[in-house]
Amino acid sequence: MRWADPELLSLLWLVPILLAIAWVAEHRRRRMERALGDPRVLRERTQVAGATLRWMRTALILLTVALAIAGMARPQAGFRLVTTTSRGVDLVIALDLSHSMEARDVRPDRLRAAKRELLSLFAALEGSAIGVVEFAGNARVLSPLTTDTRGLESVVETAVPEDLDEPGSNLAAAGRLASILLRRPGGRPRAVLLVSDGENLEGDAHAAASMARGSGARLFTLGLGTPQGATIPVIDSRGPWPGGGAARGAGGEGPGAAGGDASRARGGRAPQRDRNGGGRRSRPGEDPGHDAGAPVRVRGVHRWRDCAA
């Protein structure tokens, strides 16, 4: 026999401690009875149980405590071998949280459209280990690889550009963190999904694709935005600025004049990065069924040998 939580057995020391307390209490009780008169006459008049019955009750209480502690330690006997098959992939999602993701050329805006696609992806990748990296001018791990899709949904839904203090879109930093998360034992297929509008990419994008391949993963991209682009709304506690929004520079680096530069989806270099990383690029809105169409390609990473460009 073995115990699932053997450390709880140390609580059995409570049993002799309680026994000592009960013995001291009984000893004091007898002294008090003798001081008041004949103990037998007192018990007859007060209808109180005698010492024998009291010790029997104490023994039952101590036995109950001991059995409760043993139950919490979960005794286990016997075993059997069960063969299970694990399906799925190791996937790291690099989510762009630059301010250009707040542009509204995709409804309701690029960031919320990306979150909508990711939530549908989580539901399709049951059994996969998924991690999330958020990036702007710098990058950080939002969630390590986990199969807890409910927790991932909460993490992604609450991600906002204010989480990161450095503006920009540093793809190289995101790729480095993604490759680190994927370097773990196991033979499951691995993939990195870049979710971005492609605005103002910093660092060496080709190095990010090489890092993905170095960790044994393929790089896929999910592009947000339209070639026509849109201004990036500037919103404070009183709502949008006059005119419905203000334009910023292409990467959301600073305020510009209303009606100035618009944020546009930059797709020119993404296909080349995908080919370097061994994956593909997809964009919501390319076809009427974009709500399902974009995740379909990404879901295919668990059959990534069939998805070679």
Q: Are residues 290 and 186 in the same domain?
A: yes
Are 104 and 233 found together in one domain? Answer: yes
- Out of 76, 103, 132, a domain closes at 76
Q: Are residues 31 and 67 in the same domain?
A: yes
Which residue shows structure tokens 């870049």?
A: 194
Overall domain count for the chain:
2
Do residue 121 and residue 235 come from a single domain?
yes
Among the listed ranges 2-16, 87-101, 108-122, 294-308, which one has the minimum average pLDDT value? 294-308
113 within 8 A of 284, measured Cβ to Cβ: yes
Residues 161 and 49 in one domain: no
Same domain, 101 and 72: no
First-to-last alpha carbon distance for the chain, in angstroms, is 55
Enumerate residues 6+ apart whose C-beta is below 8 A from 232. 99, 100, 102, 103, 245, 246, 247, 248, 252, 263
Which residue reads 């100035």 in tokens?
A: 260
Q: 80-138, pLDDT tens digit by residue?
A: 777 766 678 899 999 999 888 888 888 888 999 999 999 999 988 888 999 999 998 88
Res 37: pLDDT: 73
Domain that holds residue 278: 90-306
Is residue 19 in some structural domain?
A: yes
From 54, 76, 98, give the residue that closes a domain: 76
Higher pLDDT pick, 173 / 282? 173
CA distances from 285 to 106, 108, 112, 261, 275 (A): 8, 13, 14, 23, 22
Q: Which residue has the higher pLDDT, 176 or 308?
A: 176
Q: What average pLDDT is seen over the chain?
A: 75
* pLDDT at position 7 over 80: yes
For 60, list phi and psi in degrees, rounded to 5.
Answer: -65, -40
Position 82 in a domain: no
Residues 38 and 152 in one domain: no
Does residue 295 share a domain with residue 157? yes
Co-location of 67 and 95 in the same domain: no
Are both 72 and 97 inside the same structural domain?
no
Query: 248 with 183, same domain?
Result: yes
Residue 275 neighbours by CB under 8 Å, 6+ apart: 309
Per mean pLDDT, which range of 17-21, 179-183, 236-240 is the poorest? 236-240
Residue 225 CB contacts under 8 Å (≥ 6 apart), including other chains: 100, 103, 105, 106, 110, 197, 198, 199, 263, 264, 265
In a domain, 272, yes or no: yes
Nearest to 118 by CA among 79, 149, 160: 149
Q: What is the pLDDT of residue 241?
A: 55
Q: Which two tokens stand for residue 285?
A: 């809105």
184 and 58 both lie in a single domain: no
- 83 within some domain: no
In the chain, the percentage of residues whose pLDDT exceeds 90 is 26
Q: 84 in a domain, yes or no? A: no
Domain for residue 81, yes or no?
Answer: no
Domain assignment of residue 132, yes or no = yes
In a domain, residue 151? The reply is yes
Domain of residue 131, CATH code:
3.40.50.410
Domain C-terminal end among 51, 76, 101:
76
